[in-house]
Structure formats: C-alpha cells, structure tokens
A and B are shown apart, each in its own frame.
Chain A
Amino acid sequence: MKTFVVAAGLAAASISPAFAQDAKRIEALEARIKVLEASAAQMQKQAADAAEALKAAQAEIDELKHAAPAEATAAAPEDAPEAQAEAPAEGVASAEDATAPASADATSPNAFNPAISIILNGQYAHHSLNPDDYVRAGFPLAGDAGPGPQGLSLGESEVAFSSNIDDKFYGQLTLTVHNEDGEDHVGVEEAYIDTTSMPDGFSLRAGRFFSNVGYLNSHHPHTDKFADRPLPYQAFLGNQYGDDGVQLRWVAPTDLFFELGGEVLRGQNFPSGGAGHAGTGVKTAFAHLGGDVGIENSWLAGVSVLKSQTDGAEDGFRGDETLWIADATWKWAPGGNTKDGGIQLRSEYFREDRDGLYVDALDPAFNQLWSGQRSGAYVEGVWRINRLWETGYRYDKLWGDNEGPYASTFDPYRHTLMAAWRNSEFSMIRLQVSHDKPNGTDTDNTVTLQYQTSLGAHGAHKF
C-alpha cells in the first residue's frame, strides 16, 4: 500500500510539467505524499485492528462451538464418539449475526436452475387373477385403467422441474418414465405455464396439464392414499385425464373458499380421442367450495362437468359425451395437526351420458348405436394414527349399462384396505390388500407392497 502510494506520487511528479525544478511545486507534492502516506498508514492500522477484532470474535465463536461437545465428552466418556459425531451432524455452520443472508451461490449460473423434484416408486403385487385375463364387465379398460402388473415392477418415476419464469409467469414440466411391455418410455406428463399476475383472483394456465375436474384428477398419484386409482377414475377418465389445453380459474374474494373455472382441451386422450372439433374436443367447467369448521375440521366440495366431442376414443366411441362429477372431502385432525393424527373422508360420484356410435377400430364398417348412461362412485376413509402410521379403507363401485356395445347386468365393485408407514415426509412404504369383483365370474384378490419416495425440492401439496 505504502509503496504504491509513493510510486504513484513519483509517477505524478515525473509527469508534472518539465519545469519541475520549481521548488515550490516539489515541496507541495512532498507535502501531499506525506499526507497520503499518513492516511495509508492509518488505513493499514484500521485494517489490522479489524482483523484482530475478527480474530477475537472467531476465537469466541470457536470457544462456544467447542464448549458443548467438550463438556459432554468429559461428562460422559462412554458417549464420546456419539457426542462428537453429533455436533457436526447438526450441520451448524455457526454463521454469526454479521453474515449477510445472501446466498453464496448467487453468482453461479446454476442459481437460476428451476426446482427439481423426483418421485421414485416401485412395487410388488400379487394378483389371484392373471391380469391378462382381467375383464371389467360393462367397462373396457382404456387409458391406464386396469389391475396393474403381476409381480415386481417399477412404478411411474417422475421428474418435475418448476420455477417462476419472470414476474408474470410460472412454469412446470413433469416427465415420467413408464414401462410398457418391457420397454421404457419417457413421456411429457405435464408441461404448462401459469400466470401469476392477473388481477382480481384470475389465473390462466396453458400447455399440457391434468384437468381440474373432480378431486383426485388434478392430484399426482404419489399424493394418493391408495396404491391405485378408484374404479370410477379408471372407468371414466382412464385413471387420470390430462391433455393439451388452456384453463381459466377464478377465486372469489370471500372468506369461504370459492373457485370457478373452465378448460378447453385438445381431446386427444381418453375419455376423448381423435382431437375432435378441430383439436378442441373437450370442454370442462368446475366449481369448488371449501372452508373450516372450528380449527380441527376442514372440508372441500365441488361439482364438475366434462363435455367431449369424441372422434374415436380408445373404447370405440364416437359422438358426444357428458361426464358429471361431484366430490366431497372432509378432514379432521386433533389440534389441526393433520400429520400427527386425524381422519380423512372422501367420496366422489361420477355419471356419464353418451350419445353416439360404437365403431370397431379394425372394421369401421361394423358399428352400432351407443347411447346410454353409466355411473360410478367411491368412498374412502383414512385414519392417520400418528406421524408414522396411517391406515385406510376404500369401497368403489361401477354401474354399467344394460344396453349398447358393452351391455352388462353385473356391476363391478371392490374393497381395499391399506396401511402405510412413513419414515419422514419424503419416504413411505405401503401394504395394500384388495378384493375386486370385476365381473360376474372372476375375483381378483391382490396384495401390493409399495415404496414411494420424493427427493429434491420440497414439494408443496394441494389440500
């Protein structure tokens, strides 16, 4: 520092006008250099003082840091390794008050990476009825409906990226890996943007997403309480209806939660098909109401309708379809702590009207009238025993049509029991047994053991 100042001074002196012999000038410069030197010395002293203070503070911190384990060690020698191992395990960086709350990674280009969360799951299932021979009376298996594979299998693994795009948009991409006949396929399950800055409670979503009809449809399966979707979801929505489209939602400025919305979707996937009506084959509308009763009870109920102009669905349907869904959820938790105990009840009712034709995919000349009604419902109750354990029961049933291409007089039903153990919010192991009557002659008794984990960004789940 000092040498630099002197050098700078000398340089200044040498550049100064050629007539530097002027004694007065040199004197003035010398005086200035002295002043500069003095201030440099002062700065050095200040820096040294600061360093010393920092050292003292560091020593104090270290003393504090070491005090606890050292004393514990002295007091309980047999626990010494444990106590020592614990101190770092708590991950204390001992950031003192002076540390600014800014992140150290802020300068790295990765700082803007979206939040990444990964769902990993797998299962072992034993079916008493060979899944290849499984026939559901009145309801052909379309979409992802069906009993699931026999034996060991990897569930749907999922990677989701999400982030604010800018001050007006939020984006999310969910990729899934699933296995079809021994081959792995990567699919885009969801890829959408949401507006975050529309006024008055409106928000718009565009892209590929799960429709907001009903209760379970917009929920990812890893948040479900059972290992598979209820029969009505399998029969009427192919497990879960997602498609390309736009959605407008409005939340009312009321104390009671009230949400209204509608969607226009492509109509590519079951229950639709063929992207009819020039690629806008499906329209939906939904309304949800919700609130609390005291601090221990909360509820959510809704009505939704899905209308599809179907141009060749997986089950051979061509024509107009209207699906009504009513859903109701009630949660009770002691003290409002849903993760430590409580009961959750849910029921949904489906009613489907079809007006069109059944057209054989292999032989389009073969067709017959298909107009009629079918319906389905499920009720489930889950008891959260404590933070680790929960158990639940579900009953689901379908009512087929007595006429038409899938005429049936038998109504399929199923009983399901499950128990789940959670080590943390991020991991769960579930055992499920079910007794399924898919048709008049067969019974499928199933035992499923499943693990489900999430890693990466901490998820925030819907009610």
Chain B
Amino acid sequence: MKKQIVALLMLGLFAGNAAAAKLKVFACEPEWGALVQEVAGDKVDLSVGTSALQDVHQIDAKPSLIAKVRQADLLVCTGADLEVGWLPQLIRQAGNARVASGPGYFMADDQVATLDRPSKLDRAAGDIHPQGNPHIQLDPYRVLKVANALEMRLASLDAANAAEYKKRLGDFTTRWQAATKRWEAKAAPLKGKKIVVHHISWVYLEKWLGLQEIGALEPKPGVPPTSGHLSSLIATTKSAGTYAIISAAYQDPKPARWLSDRTGVPAVVLPFTVGGDAQSKDLFGLYDSTIDKLLGAAK
C-alpha cells in the first residue's frame, strides 16, 4: 500500500511537471525551427538539430541529438525520407514514446503534395527520394500550408496555449501573404530565366518563380558527376544563355565556380535555409535574400 502511494505521488509529480513545463519542440532543420518560432514564439522550448551549413541528407546520429529527441514532446522535420539516414536512429535510441509516432511526430512533407516523385525507383539514379523531392521550404504556399497544419498540431498538444498559437498564425499569415505578393512582384524579371543547379533541390523555387532548370552539376543525388557529364554541361550552359549557376550555402562552392569560370555564367550561392547567410535570420529574411541574390546575378 505504501509503495502504491509513493508511486501515485511520483506520478503526480511527473504529471505536475509536464503540465507546468513548456512544450519541447525539436526541429530537424532550421527552416522548421523558424516556422515553429513564428507560430509558437516563446510558448515552446525549441531546439534545432542542424544548421544551414550542414547537408541534412548526411547527418550523424550523434549523442547530442539523441539527448534532444529524448526530451522532445514534438518533432518538426521535413520527412519524405530526407532524414532517413539519421532520424529513425535518433528515435529508436532516444526511447521517447511521445515522438516515436502519433501526434508528437510532425513531418512537413506529409502536409503538402511533393513534386518529382520518381516514376522508377532505381539506385542507379542515385540516392533518390521515393516520396518526391523533399525540399519544400522555398515555396511560400507550401510553407503556409505547413504553418496551418503545425498550428493545429501545437494546439492539440498544448491546449492551454491554443489561443496564442491561433493568434500568432493569423499574424504570420497576414505578413506572409503580403510578403509573398511583394516577392512575386520583385522576382517577376526572373520568370523564364534558365539556371544550372548543383543538386536538384530547387524545384519548388523554380516552379514558384518560373525559373527553368536546364542542368545539374550533380544530377544523381549522392553520386559525384562523371567528367563526361561535366563537359557536356559546359556546352549546355554556354549555348542555352544560362542566367546563373545555383548552389546552396552548405554545398562545396568549387564545382559551381568551376563551371562559372568555364562558361562566364555567374555562380550564385543561395542560403537554402534560415541561417544560410547573414540576411537569412528568419523565413522572411531567407526569401528576401534568395530573391535579392538571384536578381543580383544579372549585375
């Protein structure tokens, strides 16, 4: 009987702690950390697993990340197998049932439709993503959809702050929609421009702004390009009137510079996610910087 009372007391203590403590959110990538920040502000304890200078396809399931996942009430990640090489390992090692599945497991790509679903699954095409291209963070419409779904998830996990989440989402939506219009107007000259990319991670941006991808330095994800491919890419880039060669802040800038030197087409390093350059302090800064840098290529 005594034991049961102690157990009950301890249970009460744990439950009491849980109710008093803030919701702990673990974001796999900086863009989702920034979105959580927009929707939840200081109502949650946020930790972000990776930085804009890391290749999120290739992260080590390191101890510090296990410790973060262990404490989380909610995971906010990209999904669509982007984190397949590390997130499942983190979840399995953390022993945290709250985020292993169910409401504590929020994948942004599950909230929207992805592009570029491969019609054929063959690793001869590299490390392709069967569930489509996962890099949705540079499509403002998809980001807004994710924000809506995220607000619902936060409200269901943390009902006490539901009103605050709703208010913040409303505020974000207003600012985001206004900014989207502004970006679209500003980026109008980019429509129809041809670009060469490092890795095929820009399809959502291209679709949104009407950019046209005519080639990739690394056409097969995770497999280095052949010299034959690179030499044909020089010819394509030169003759097609290419506007810019795009790479992400986390990628080695050398291949893009190499192609730029041989074709005279400017190489542009885009932030790709929040924190990718000095201007990309939040999602708005990320889009501002991306469009400014793309427009700057013409000069």
Q: Could you tell me the distance in whole angstroms from the C-beta of A163 to the nearest C-beta in chain B? A: 11
Q: Judge whether A68 and B127 touch: CB under 8 Å.
A: no
Q: Which residues of A contact B8 (CB under 8 A)?
A: none
Q: Judge whether A423 and B223 touch: CB under 8 Å.
A: yes
Q: Could you tell me the distance in whole angstroms from the C-beta of A76 to the nearest C-beta in chain B? A: 4
Does residue A167 face the partner (Cβ distance < 8 Å to B)? Answer: yes
Q: Judge whether A91 and B118 touch: CB under 8 Å.
A: yes
Does residue B53 face the partner (Cβ distance < 8 Å to A)? Answer: yes
Does residue B64 face the partner (Cβ distance < 8 Å to A)? Answer: yes
Q: Judge whether B89 and A337 touch: CB under 8 Å.
A: no
A249 to B70, CA, bound (A): 13
Chain B window 60-104, contacts with chain A (Cβ cutoff 8 Å), 1 for yes, 0 for no: 111110111011000000000100111111001111110011000
Q: Which residues of B contact A68 (CB under 8 A)?
A: 212-214
Does residue A300 face the partner (Cβ distance < 8 Å to B)? Answer: yes
Q: Which residues of A contact B60 (CB under 8 A)?
A: 298, 331, 338, 463
- Number of residues on chain A facing chain B (CB within 8 A): 76
Does residue A224 face the partner (Cβ distance < 8 Å to B)? Answer: no
Q: Which residues of A contact B59 (CB under 8 A)?
A: 338
A460 to B92, CA, bound (A): 10
Does residue B119 face the partner (Cβ distance < 8 Å to A)? Answer: yes
Contact with B86, one of A67, A256, A335, A460 (Cβ below 8 angstroms): A460
Chain A window 272-293, contacts with chain B (Cβ cutoff 8 Å), 1 for yes, 0 for no: 0000000000000000111110
Does residue B250 face the partner (Cβ distance < 8 Å to A)? Answer: yes
Q: Judge whether A291 and B55 touch: CB under 8 Å.
A: no
Q: Judge whether A290 and B118 touch: CB under 8 Å.
A: no
Chain B window 100-124, contacts with chain A (Cβ cutoff 8 Å), 1 for yes, 0 for no: 1100000001101111111110010
- Taking A82-B232, A196-B100, A460-B88 as contacts, is the C-beta distance between A338 and B63 under 8 angstroms? no
- Taking A75-B240, A76-B240, A257-B66 as contacts, is the C-beta distance between A91 and B128 under 8 angstroms? yes
- Taking A91-B125, A101-B114, A197-B100 as contacts, is the C-beta distance between A257 and B67 under 8 angstroms? yes
A93 to B216, CA, bound (A): 18
Q: Judge whether B55 and A167 touch: CB under 8 Å.
A: no
Does residue B54 face the partner (Cβ distance < 8 Å to A)? Answer: yes
Q: Could you tell me the distance in whole angstroms from the C-beta of B67 to the nearest C-beta in chain A? A: 4
Q: Which residues of A contact B214 (CB under 8 A)?
A: 68, 71-72
Q: Judge whether B95 and A256 touch: CB under 8 Å.
A: no
Q: Judge whether B239 and A337 touch: CB under 8 Å.
A: no
Chain A minimum-CB-distance residue to B121: A91
Q: Which residues of A contact B63 (CB under 8 A)?
A: 257, 288-292, 298-300, 463
| SS of B interface (majority) | loop
A90 to B67, CA, bound (A): 38
Residue among A67, A97, A258, A387 with max Cβ neighbours from chain B (10 Å): A97
Q: Could you tell me the distance in whole angstroms from the C-beta of A187 to the nearest C-beta in chain B? A: 24
Does residue B126 face the partner (Cβ distance < 8 Å to A)? Answer: yes
Q: Judge whether B118 and A425 touch: CB under 8 Å.
A: no
- Number of residues on chain B facing chain A (CB within 8 A): 70
Does residue A63 face the partner (Cβ distance < 8 Å to B)? Answer: no
A29 to B70, CA, bound (A): 69
Chain A window 57-68, contacts with chain B (Cβ cutoff 8 Å), 1 for yes, 0 for no: 000000000011
> Which of these binds chain B: A43-51, A152-160, A198-206?
A198-206
Does residue B170 face the partner (Cβ distance < 8 Å to A)? Answer: no
Contact with B97, one of A198, A255, A339, A459 (Cβ below 8 angstroms): A198
A259 to B127, CA, bound (A): 33
Contact with B224, one of A196, A198, A388 (Cβ below 8 angstroms): A388
Chain A window 419-458, contacts with chain B (Cβ cutoff 8 Å), 1 for yes, 0 for no: 0000111100000000000000000000000000001001
Q: Which residues of A contact B241 (CB under 8 A)?
A: 75
Q: Could you tell me the distance in whole angstroms from the C-beta of B18 to the nearest C-beta in chain A? A: 11
Does residue B222 face the partner (Cβ distance < 8 Å to A)? Answer: yes
Does residue B19 face the partner (Cβ distance < 8 Å to A)? Answer: no
- Taking A202-B95, A461-B85 as contacts, is the C-beta distance between A76 and B64 under 8 angstroms? no
Contact with B53, one of A72, A337, A424 (Cβ below 8 angstroms): A337
Q: Could you tell me the distance in whole angstroms from the C-beta of B55 to the nearest C-beta in chain A? A: 6
Q: Judge whether B58 and A338 touch: CB under 8 Å.
A: yes
Chain A minimum-CB-distance residue to B249: A335
Residues of chain B in range 6-65 having any CB-CB distance to chain A below 8 Å: 14, 50-51, 53-55, 58-64
Contact with B250, one of A72, A259, A337 (Cβ below 8 angstroms): A337
Does residue A52 face the partner (Cβ distance < 8 Å to B)? Answer: no
Does residue A362 face the partner (Cβ distance < 8 Å to B)? Answer: no
Does residue A78 face the partner (Cβ distance < 8 Å to B)? Answer: yes
- Taking A93-B117, A458-B81, A463-B61 as contacts, is the C-beta distance between A75 and B239 under 8 angstroms? yes
Chain B minimum-CB-distance residue to A290: B63
- Could you tell me which B residues sit within 8 Å of A by CB distance? 14, 50-51, 53-55, 58-64, 66-68, 70-71, 81, 84-89, 92-97, 100-101, 109-110, 112-120, 123, 125-128, 131-132, 194, 200, 212-216, 219, 222-224, 232, 235-236, 239-241, 250, 252
Q: List 18 A-B contacts (CB under 8 A).
A: A75-B239, A91-B125, A93-B118, A95-B113, A101-B110, A251-B66, A253-B70, A331-B62, A335-B53, A336-B53, A337-B250, A425-B127, A426-B123, A460-B89, A461-B85, A462-B93, A463-B63, A463-B66
Q: A298-B62, A462-B93 are in contact. List 5 more A-B contacts (CB 8 A).
A: A71-B240, A90-B116, A255-B68, A338-B60, A424-B127
- Could you tell me which A residues sit within 8 Å of B by CB distance? 67-68, 71-72, 75-76, 78-79, 82-83, 86, 89-101, 164, 167, 170, 194, 196-203, 249-259, 288-292, 295, 298-300, 331, 335-340, 387-388, 423-426, 455, 458-463
- A-B interface, 9 closest residue pairs, ranked by CB to CB distance from nearest: A290-B63, A257-B63, A91-B118, A460-B89, A339-B58, A203-B95, A257-B67, A197-B97, A292-B64
